[in-house]
A and B are shown apart, each in its own frame.
Chain A
């Protein structure tokens, strides 16, 4: 049930606002981050088939390293603000209940249903266990992205975090892999949303 008394609303307004601000910020962060990565391509990855070095500049934003950094460090404030509001409202409302608990038996039931092609999202107020795990993964991955990003940005000021993540160079890899994780989440999330269009409507207009 919704918190604001509007029983027909799937997602309250605050959540929808946070979702779209967050989505915009994360996309800007990814695309500008690719341009920043291009300044030193330490993973030596290539685009399948074309063989171009990842990430082709036309996929990125910022125009050059300095521009990409400006975009990255502007979008980070939007992500930061949306994260703060989300955590606050997550704690103040009972939204967290949607994602918990996650139980092994629930997961097993979902896997079986998935294999039979019967895993559904008919009631969009209810998340199945795989969905819960996917959203919890996205939240945890964003925490890892922010933590590793803080180390790359301020490895001296956040010395304890640098030590926790295994040093500056380790943080580069963690930041990169966590980026891959969020990109994978976004791809699956968008495909799933398109497959169940009413979820998109709910995230736009609340129902």
Chain B
């Protein structure tokens, strides 16, 4: 869940020990092991460790492209019956359930920005009046587990059309009430099973499942499905995301 920073420290120390075994590097360290030399040595260590990380990140970005190519906009995620729904549906976030943000539905306004023609904010009353559809689909977490749930709301492509989003752009980004943020590719945003969901299991989304709304995509892993959305933007500038910036794959699609 939380990236294990301690392990990263261990890895850096291990890397440093490894470097010390290299006679040439050790000589270098011997020559520079002064106050300034210490920082230089640290610099070497971190850049060396960083280069592996950079390669892995580059491959992950390459994999984003590969997944974009594999993605078939007409391939549908399987749907299930009421009996398959998981009760209680698992809660998962980068905080515990009691820390889920409390959003005042009365005062709430959904902000729109970026390449959208009509950027007027939306209140919940108008959002709830949009054409409503439901789906019973499998939510797959990057941690491996999965659970079937029922979500209802407006087909996201329908919403994007209504607000005049420029669907030739590459990305749709989301900002959330809990500080979370993420972004998705436009083909997935326009997929027929991508919902701007207001309900879970027939009830208004409770706080723990993302009140006032979440983007439900059965074609993407859980961390790509933002909860507590307060702002939606359309852009051509790669927006990244909370977990994505820490190292999860950006496309994150199934």
Asked if A74 and B76 make an inter-chain contact with CB atoms under 8 angstroms apart, the answer reads no
B59 touching A77 by the CB < 8 A rule? yes
Given the known A-B contacts A66-B3, A66-B246, A71-B56, are A154 and B253 also in contact in the complex, defined by CB atoms under 8 Å?
yes
Partner of A155, one of B8, B63, B72, B254: B254
Chain B residues 207-223 with CB under 8 Å of chain A are 218-219
A153 interfacial contact with B, CB 8 Å: yes
Question: Is the pair B254, A64 in contact by a Cβ cutoff of 8 Å?
Answer: no
In the bound complex, do residue A57 and residue B7 qualify as a contact, i.e. CB atoms below 8 Å apart?
yes
Cα distance A42–B254 in the bound complex, in angstroms: 20
> Beyond the given A69-B142, A162-B78, could you list 17 further A-B residue pairs with CB under 8 A, ordered by the A residue number?
A39-B142, A42-B144, A57-B4, A57-B7, A63-B7, A63-B10, A65-B143, A66-B243, A66-B247, A67-B56, A69-B248, A73-B63, A74-B55, A156-B75, A159-B75, A168-B140, A168-B146
User: A77: which B residues are within 8 A, CB to CB?
Assistant: 59
> How many cross-chain pairs have Cβ atoms below 8 Å apart between A and B?
88
Q: Determine whether the beta carbon of A73 is less than 8 Å from that of B59.
A: yes
Query: If A153-B254, A156-B219, A157-B71 touch, does A37 touch B144 (CB 8 Å cutoff)?
Result: yes
Output the least CB separation between B22 and chain A (Å): 21
Which chain B residues border A39 with CB–CB below 8 Å? 142-144
CB atoms of B77 and A156 under 8 A apart: yes
The contact of A42 among B4, B7, B145, by CB within 8 Å, is B145
Q: With a CB–CB cut-off of 8 A, which chain A residues contact B1? A: 65
A105 at the interface (CB under 8 A from B): no
The chain A residue with its CB closest to the CB of B67 is A154
- Interface residues in A64-83 by Cβ distance below 8 A to B read 64-67, 69-71, 73-74, 77
| CA gap between A27 and B241 in the complex, in Å | 30
B-facing mask of A144-178, CB < 8 A → 1, else 0? 00000000011111010010000011001000000
Q: Contact residue range for chain B?
A: 35 or more
User: If the complex has contacts A156-B254, A168-B140, are A40 and B56 also in contact, measured as CB distance less than 8 A?
Assistant: no
Residues of B within 8 A of A70 (CB): 56-57, 59-60, 247, 249
Is the C-beta of B32 less than 8 angstroms from some C-beta in chain A? no
Interface residues on A, range: 20 to 34
- Select one of A37, A65, A162 contacting B142, CB under 8 A: A65
Residue B138, interface by CB 8 Å: yes
CA A86 to CA B229, docked complex, whole Å: 48
**What 7 A-B pairs have minimum CB-CB distances, sorted nearest first?**
A66-B247, A39-B143, A70-B56, A40-B144, A74-B59, A64-B4, A63-B7
Query: In the complex, which residues 27-77 of chain A have their Cβ closer than 8 Å to any Cβ of chain B?
Result: 36-37, 39-40, 42, 57, 63-67, 69-71, 73-74, 77
Asked if residues A69 and B143 are in contact (CB atoms below 8 Å), the reply is no
Q: In the bound complex, how far is the Cα of B219 from the Cα of A57, in angstroms? A: 30
